[in-house]
Amino acid sequence: MVEPETFAFLTVLAKNNRKAWMDAHRAERDDALRNFTGIAMTLHDYADRFDPFVAGARIKPKQSFTKFFQEPRDRIGRALYRSDVDVFANAGHPAEDFGYYLHIEPGNCHAGAGLFQPSKEALARSRNRLTDDPQGLTEVLADRDFKKTFPDGLVTRKALSALPDGYENSHPAAPYLKMFGLGCRKDLSDAALLDDGVIDLLIEIFRPASQLVRYFD
Quote the pLDDT of residue 74: 60
Quote the pLDDT of residue 70: 66
| pLDDT tens for the 217 residues of the chain, in order | 999 999 999 999 999 999 999 999 999 999 999 999 999 999 999 999 999 999 999 988 878 999 988 665 565 666 788 899 999 999 999 999 999 999 999 999 999 999 999 999 999 999 999 999 999 999 999 999 999 999 999 999 899 999 988 888 899 999 999 999 999 999 999 999 999 899 999 999 999 999 999 999 8
pLDDT in tens, 113-144: 999 999 999 999 999 999 999 999 999 999 99
Amino acid at 46: Y
- pTM metric for this prediction: 0.93
Q: Which CATH architecture has domain 4-216?
A: 2-Layer Sandwich (3.30)
Quote the pLDDT of residue 196: 87
Q: Say if residue 27 is exposed, middle or buried (CB neighbours under 10 Å; 0-12, 13-18, 19+).
A: exposed
> From the CB of residue 32, how many other CB atoms can be counted at a distance below 10 Å?
24
Domain boundaries, the chain: 4-216
Buried b (16+ CB within 10 A) or exposed e, 157-166: eeeeeeeeee
Quote the pLDDT of residue 69: 80
Buried b (16+ CB within 10 A) or exposed e, 40-56: bebbbebbeebbebbee
Q: Could you tell me which of 123, 113, 137, 134 has the C-alpha nearest to residue 202?
A: 113
Q: Are 160 and 188 in contact (CB under 8 A)?
A: no
